[in-house]
Amino acid sequence: MVISERREESEISCFQLNVSGKIIDFRLSDEYNLPRAYFHPSNKEYVFQAIHNYLLDFFGDTVEYAWRATYPENPIPHLPNLSLWFFYSTGRSGVRTMETLEKFFASSPIMKMICIRWSRPELISPESKFYQAESHYSRIKHSHNAHAFLKHFQGRQATLFFHEFNVLEFVEFINRWRSGEAFQKLEYLKIKLMSNFHHLIEVLNANGVKRIDRTKKPPIHTVPHLSQSIRVLQRNTDPIISHRYIVRETDNRVASVSVRGDMFCFGVWKETEEEFLRMVE
């Protein structure tokens, strides 16, 4: 189903359907092989709610309902059992202010996934729900924005592309996770450096990084991909196979650490160090 605002009366012929007790205009779409709902902007809240309630009554909670947003000027409705996905690029024509983005994140529920290409130098507020999204698939240009993201991220999974980043900032990330200071929800992190990655291997020499004997085979880390239903087709995250790992001081849980060329990968296990080492072959 496609939903469109009708900003003025048109001669387009529509048919009406009763949707969860609300009469809504529909027509067959020329662009999509789907019915298109038409409504005046002032009626959009009850239209969204009526259609969502109808789908809930029909399918129940057996499917995931996803709302895909691309324009921060349009608020996202607060509806039950709805996953929110935001796709955005600062390189689009027409400059959108930071104030617009900040208001958008503040007014929206915490998002399931954000896919953003961030090329502007401005920093997003540390308190923003931007950092609370469960999953990120983002390209960030400026080093201070990359540093801010890795400092404030509170979600579960992230695949990131950084144009610039310092090895010491990777070490800081590892130390903060190891101490239990931050990233309590983190399951998986992959960062690809677009430049200056030649010293990235030095991350594996940081304090607290442990090593599995080279003659043994380490366990393979992978978890279900949170963003598989829209952005990523693969069911699980990319496997991490590494002889290096660290242990969190607060609960003794393990995270595998991998550096390969321009790629840094970090996968958190549910197992403690003792349980993890029993999986080593």
The mean predicted confidence, pLDDT, of the chain is: 85
Sequence-distant (6+) residues with CB within 8 A of 275 are none
pLDDT digits (tens, 9 = 90+) for 16-75: 888 888 888 888 777 777 778 877 777 878 888 888 888 888 888 888 788 888 888 877
CA 82 to each of CA 64, 158, 223: distance values in angstroms, whole numbers, following the listed order: 7, 21, 22
Cα-based torsion angle of the residue sequence 195, 196, 201, 205 in order, rounded to the nearest 10 degrees: -130
Q: Would strands 113-118 and 135-140 be described as parallel, antiparallel, or unpaired?
A: parallel
- What is the pLDDT at residue 94? 41
Angstrom distance (rounded) from CA 101 to CA 119: 14
- What is the pLDDT at residue 76? 81
- What is the pLDDT at residue 7? 43
- What is the pLDDT at residue 91? 59
CA atoms within 13 A on the CB side of 181: 9
Q: Average pLDDT of 205-219?
A: 93
pLDDT digits (tens, 9 = 90+) for 76-124: 888 888 889 999 887 554 445 778 888 899 999 999 999 988 887 788 8
